[in-house]
Amino acid sequence: MKSESGSAELIKSGYISSKVDALINIFKSFGSSNEVLCLIFVERIMTAKAVERFMRGIVNFSSFSISYLTGGSTSKDSLSPAVQRYTLDLFRSGKVNLLFTTDVTEEGIDVPNCSCVIRFDLPRTVCSYVQSRGRARRSSSNYVLMIERGNMDQQEHIFRIIQTEYYIKHFALYRHRNPNVSSSEWPMQDKYAYHVDSTGATITADCCVDLIRKYCEKLPKDRYYIPKPSFAVAIEDGSYQCTLTLPPNAAFQRIVGPLCSTSNLAKQLVSLDACKKLHQLGELNDHLLPFTEEPIDIDVALRDGKFLSGPGTTKRKELHGTRNVLALSGSWIHESESVTLNAYRFDFLCDQEGENYAGFVLLMESALDDDVACSKMDLFLIPNKMVYTTVTPCGKVQLDKKQLRDGKLFQEFFFNGIFGRLFHGSRTSGVQREFLFRKGHEIQWSSQSMYLLLPLRHSPHIQQDLNIYWEAVESCTQAVEQLRNLYLEDENIRANFIQHRSIKEKDIIHLANKSLHFSSIKDSVVLSLHTGRIYSVLDLIYGTTAEDSFEEMYNGKASPFSSFVDYYREKYGIVIQHPKQPLLLLKQSHNAHNLLFSKSKYIDGSTGDPLLMEKEQIHARVPPELLIHIDVTIEVLKSFYLLPSVMHRLQSLMLASQLRRDIGYTQHIPSYLILEAITTLRCCETFSLERLELLGDSVLKYVIGCDLFLRYPMKHEGHLSDMRSNAVCNATLHKHGIWRSLQGYVRDSAFDPRRWVAPGQISLRPFPCNCRIETAFVPSNGRYISDDPSFVVGKPCDRAHRWMCSKAISDCVEALVGAYYVGGGIVGALWVMKWFGIEIKCDRKLVQEVKLNASYICYLPKISVIEELEAKLKYNFSVKGLLLEAITHPSLQELGADYCYQRLEFLGDSVLDLLITRYLYVTHTDVDPGELTDLRSALVSNENFAEVVLRNNIHSHLQHGSGILLEQITEYVRSNLECQGKVNKFLQHATCKVPKVLGDIMESIAGAIFVDTDFNVDVVWKIVEPLLSPMITPDNLVLPPYRELLELCSHLGYFINSKCSSKGEEVIIEMSVQLRDELLIAQGQDRNKKSAKSKAAARILADLKKRGLSMKQCSSKAKQLDIISSDQQYPLLESPLDYCHVDANPSLGGLPSLKEAVVLRLKLDKGGPRSALFKLCKRLQWPMPEFEFVEQRFRTPIVLDGVTTTNFNSFVSTITLHIPDVTAITLQGERRTDKKSSQDSASLIMLHKLQELKVCICKT
């Protein structure tokens, strides 16, 4: 909209209202945006969002910065507290000029420079009118009410509000005037008021009673007890004095007011005194409103006008750098004289007899920490092969100038020859062929990664002195010199280099550089002259020569070359001098593999069968005279394939040791523990931070809970819980981690051996940096934060920048706390927390104060009640008041008690959480971290604690004053006895209601014991463990029904559909699961949605169990659909639809639930077709499609669509889609070079078939 005529047209067309047009004209009258800070109040969240978006599109308002602010309701359009604070800060600073808001900013918000307040929607109440008008704080500010012209109802409504405001002011000033009381006792506003200078907030005696009630409403409560104040007025000599009693969980319990002339004034003034005291104690904020724990001050990033996810979330991606391993740095490789280096020996032991590997020595400048230098690791090879690796320090080794030069060349030669290239360019590509070690060319070594890996002579004595295999090193030097001479003048191999040998001895084989007896050829290491590849000799192929044809040698496949002699002459210009010699069968070198994967990646946990089979090996046949013999054993060559994984693990341990030095704790924490704490699940190794993260979370909760309990003795459980939640939330932990640059240490991706390079090795897979950052350090700002799910996480560029989930940093903070707790106890955990900037000030003297205050509790039941409970706990309290406080419900206030269990419950919650998590961590060392989390959730759940209380008959000692609570406990005891006899555990879990109070007193009793023992967790565990026994174990763990159903359906490939409705005060959930040939439907009904959903899920689970479907049964019958076959051949298809089996003849009429075709957005990139098909199945509630594939292997690169690929394997996937009650469609996809792409091909063909059947419409 660019003109007034345009505005009129929009009004006429009905796109905007005249009210919006009037608002636009008001904005136009503001002039310069520099002077404008305007609040526009609307009634609904959607209005704020819609009008704000419309105003952004007006050209004339481009100079204004416009935003909106709404409360944190359940609406999807509402804003989180963090975003609310961020938006308000932008408005205060003038970065936002026009702020559309709901009533969230009416109260308690101070914007001193606000120049205008506009009520787009009129205020409903006098309070709303006064509060919103009070937001216009600047002198000469404006308050605008937008009243519809001629609308008498609106005019009368505003008139009544203004009139009511006048009467309230007048009545408040003069209603207590009494001619018998002197004027000095008149309740004038200045005399009976409390003023806060920092905000200007003022409260008078008139509204103090309501404020006290409002404060009590904010205190923790349940359905059995609603906290409220109690006023008791006494008459003394004609004057009135009021005593105010607050609930037991308030900051204080009792206050006595001054003598007054009337009972009403006495009530008001004692309330005013209470408000003053509450403000001084921090229970009322500086706006004199009940204090609510503010959300933590977090950085909320803004991009393209949209708020990004907060720090510490999985959705948020951040770009971070990677710390260099300082221990590997050096410059000694360029020394002209001898060097002295630290030596660390690698020894390899295979679990299969006859498999031998040569030892190696690592030479480096820095000395490693003892636990790094003496480390062990397991390397997993397939099929079902393991190599145990031991690292041992061997003192120092001195290398002279020649040894240093030869060792450097050996490392460059083998790592480039095996994992890289020794030759660059070829005749066919038109690029001149060059030898990597040609004269005048030197490979540069980085000073940040400098070490040597040299082979050792085999010896049965591991601990002997180092015996470096110098003959092998020198043989490598000779081979390089021969190749240098060969390629000195011309790229072609000269005929005179391969000398014609006339030796006629029997069984002699002529190689390029020597002649050997045939018995010495097998298992030797050779280098091909024409390709620069390194091979191991498997055998001599008798009966074959270089004069044989290619077709006979390679399965009869057509070849343009008549023989090997012809092939080498035409392709490489080589003339074979000994064509009658038998060919050698060679094993090709291959890429390095990640040998650090967990064994579970290869072995089926339920059956023990291998999931992956060793691929069929492809062998080469080469004339002997084209091969240079290298005096290196086959064991040395095999060890080279282990070294990338070994060095990666060793570098990770060095990094962990480096972090340990940064933290600086005096007591030794094992480096493997720290490595575990910085290794995420993405690394796919045998360990990850999840177990330590679980423990660290409990330690943080425990330490901070104890600190808050002691530091704030007047704060109630609600405040303490909010403060603890803010202190341990992911956003806070992320902030601490970033402050300590922890992100550089986090290992967040699996080891990629193709990108790993040893010093002197040329990378074949460069990843140029496109981050526009010149240094390894990445600044923390919004430019390097994103919510885009397409960003690849964990893949570093050549400058080691990588995108990382923000939550990974928070998880590592928790895991490090857990690691230091395991290695150094609570003292170690406190040290690392302090290093992160988490200040804890636990003063033991405060514990004695808590015990002293508890000893003053005078209201006691019969002493036998306490003694009976102590006998059940098998512990005698030194301060009986602690136990009494622990079993007293707030509802007992009605009978005069001024204490309750809530603060002890808060403390006991932290203590029990730590003790149970520690128990699980130590006891279940082999349990999956996810299952460990489920075990902890079950053990610390309110349901389990209630069972413990019931089992030990502790509930009978609960002190309370609520008839409803007594009725519920009685009902629970009865229903629990009935549930114990039921076979259906799922339904038992959903139907037996648990009063939360029963779980609370278990926590409060633990808290009381903890205080009574002077914060000794070990004593608490000795008392609590027998009560908790028998513990829940993985064998008897019962997940919540809905969680169980989600996991089972995810495993089976089914979708869950839920519909919610209400009937009176109860919620009804109808849940359905579509099987292949049957639809399961169940209902759940309860007062809250969660319980109703749990009941419905329990019934669905029971139906599935009748059909033989449960998580336990599915796990025992687990099948691996991705079966790798090395021998199967699959016929190639002329058309992708050549193979199409349909069990029925589906049509639109065969799909009664389908009213119209589903429109799908189809992306053709990798994963797009599968994603579209999965979305379609979810939309139609069909079971997920099933895939099977067959792999075909070739000796030459395969050709797809006329293009020669670099792959030797192809995959063909078959997809089966079950349409419930109609048909099953099976189709075969096209040939692809990887499994996922072959599944995409099959999915695309299935989508096209469904489109033919008018099930869907695919749009690209």
Task: Summarize pLDDT for 947-983 with one digit per residue, the tens.
Answer: 999 999 999 999 888 888 888 888 888 887 776 655 4
pLDDT tier at 492 (50, 70, 90 boundaries)?
A: very low
Question: Tell me: the pLDDT tens digits for 284-317?
Answer: 888 888 876 554 545 555 555 556 678 888 889 9
Q: Which residues are CB-neighbours of 917 under 8 A, at least 6 positions away?
A: 694, 695, 697, 698, 936
pLDDT tier at 1198 (50, 70, 90 boundaries)?
A: confident
- Look at residue 1224 and give its three-state secondary structure: strand
Cis peptide before 1030 (omega within 30 of 0): yes
Query: Mean pLDDT score of the chain, rounded to an integer?
Result: 83
**What confidence score (pLDDT) does residue 299 get?**
54
Kindly tell me if the per-residue pLDDT of 732 is higher than 90.
yes
Angle at which helices 929-939 and 690-711 pack, to 10 degrees?
30
Cα separation, 682 vs 661, in Å, equals: 26
Question: Tell me: the pLDDT tens digits for 1043-1076?
Answer: 889 888 888 888 888 888 888 778 899 999 988 8
**What confidence score (pLDDT) does residue 1147 get?**
47
Residue that wins the pLDDT comparison between 672 and 548: 672
Task: Answer whether 218's CB lies under 8 Å from 869's CB.
Answer: no
Task: Answer whether 493's CB lies under 8 Å from 623's CB.
Answer: no
Kindly tell me if the per-residue pLDDT of 357 is higher than 90.
yes
**What confidence score (pLDDT) does residue 177 get?**
52
Kindly tell me if the per-residue pLDDT of 59 is higher than 80.
no
Question: Tell me: the pLDDT tens digits for 993-1047?
Answer: 788 899 999 999 999 999 999 999 999 999 999 999 999 888 888 888 888 898 8
Identify the structural domains of the chain with CATH numbers, from first to last. 4-169 (3.40.50.300), 198-280 (3.30.160.380), 326-500+509-645 (no CATH), 664-757+766-835 (1.10.1520.10), 844-1032 (1.10.1520.10), 1044-1116 (3.30.160.20), 1140-1259 (3.30.160.20)
**What confidence score (pLDDT) does residue 429 get?**
61
**What confidence score (pLDDT) does residue 181 get?**
42
**What confidence score (pLDDT) does residue 412 get?**
93
Q: Which of 244, 181, 241, 249 minimizes the C-alpha distance to 208?
A: 244
pTM: 0.80
Task: Answer whether 1207's CB lies under 8 Å from 1201's CB.
Answer: no
Angle at which helices 996-1012 and 1017-1028 pack, to 10 degrees?
150
Kindly tell me if the per-residue pLDDT of 867 is higher than 60.
yes
Average pLDDT over residues 127-145: 83
Cα separation, 711 vs 717, in Å, equals: 13
- Strand order through the sheet with 230-236: 230-236, 239-245, 254-256
Task: Answer whether 685's CB lies under 8 Å from 598's CB.
Answer: yes
First to last CA, the chain: 33
Average pLDDT over residues 660-670: 92
Average pLDDT over residues 842-870: 82
Residue that wins the pLDDT comparison between 1110 and 1060: 1060
Question: Tell me: the pLDDT tens digits for 93-122?
Answer: 788 889 999 877 666 567 777 889 999 999
**What confidence score (pLDDT) does residue 759 get?**
94
SS3 percent helix, strand, coil of the chain, rounded to 5, is 40, 20, 40
Cα separation, 24 vs 40, in Å, equals: 12
Residue that wins the pLDDT comparison between 711 and 1115: 711
Kindly tell me if the per-residue pLDDT of 991 is higher than 70.
no
Kindly tell me if the per-residue pLDDT of 502 is higher than 70.
no
Provide the residue type at 508 as one letter.
I
Per the rule left: phi > 0, alpha: psi between -120 and 50, beta: everything else, 1234 is: beta
Indicate the range of 336-345, 548-557, 745-754, 1105-1114 predicted with least confidence: 548-557
**What confidence score (pLDDT) does residue 1119 get?**
36
Kindly tell me if the per-residue pLDDT of 555 is higher than 80.
no
Range among 1-15, 195-209, 1125-1139 rated most confident:
195-209
Angle at which helices 1235-1252 and 1168-1180 pack, to 10 degrees?
50
**What confidence score (pLDDT) does residue 1122 get?**
34
Kindly tell me if the per-residue pLDDT of 798 is higher than 50.
yes
Cα separation, 25 vs 685, in Å, equals: 64
State the DSSP H helix or E strand holding residue 589, giving kind and residue range, or none if neither: none
pLDDT tier at 328 (50, 70, 90 boundaries)?
A: very high
**What confidence score (pLDDT) does residue 450 get?**
93
Residue that wins the pLDDT comparison between 745 and 612: 745
**What confidence score (pLDDT) does residue 935 get?**
93
B/e letters for 1078-1108, b = 16+ CB within 10 Å, e = fewer, are eebebebbbeeeebbbbbbbbbbbbebeeee
Please tell me what DSSP assigns to residue 289. Answer: S
pLDDT tier at 610 (50, 70, 90 boundaries)?
A: low
**What confidence score (pLDDT) does residue 454 get?**
96
Percent of the chain exceeding pLDDT 90 equals 36
Question: Tell me: the pLDDT tens digits for 144-153?
Answer: 999 998 889 8
Kindly tell me if the per-residue pLDDT of 1128 is higher than 80.
no
**What confidence score (pLDDT) does residue 373 get?**
95
φ/ψ of residue 760, rounded to 5: 90, -5
| Count of Cβ atoms closer than 10 Å to residue 431 Cβ | 10
**What confidence score (pLDDT) does residue 1142 get?**
43
Average pLDDT over residues 30-42: 81
Angle at which helices 902-923 and 929-939 pack, to 10 degrees?
150
563's tokens: 């023989």
Question: Tell me: the pLDDT tens digits for 365-407?
Answer: 999 999 999 999 999 987 678 999 999 999 999 999 999 999 9
Question: Contacts from 55-59 at CB under 8 Å and sequence distance 24+?
Answer: 55/24, 55/27, 55/98, 55/100, 56/305, 57/1, 58/1, 58/24, 59/1, 59/2
**What confidence score (pLDDT) does residue 1165 get?**
84
State the DSSP H helix or E strand holding residue 542, giving kind and residue range, or none if neither: strand 534-545
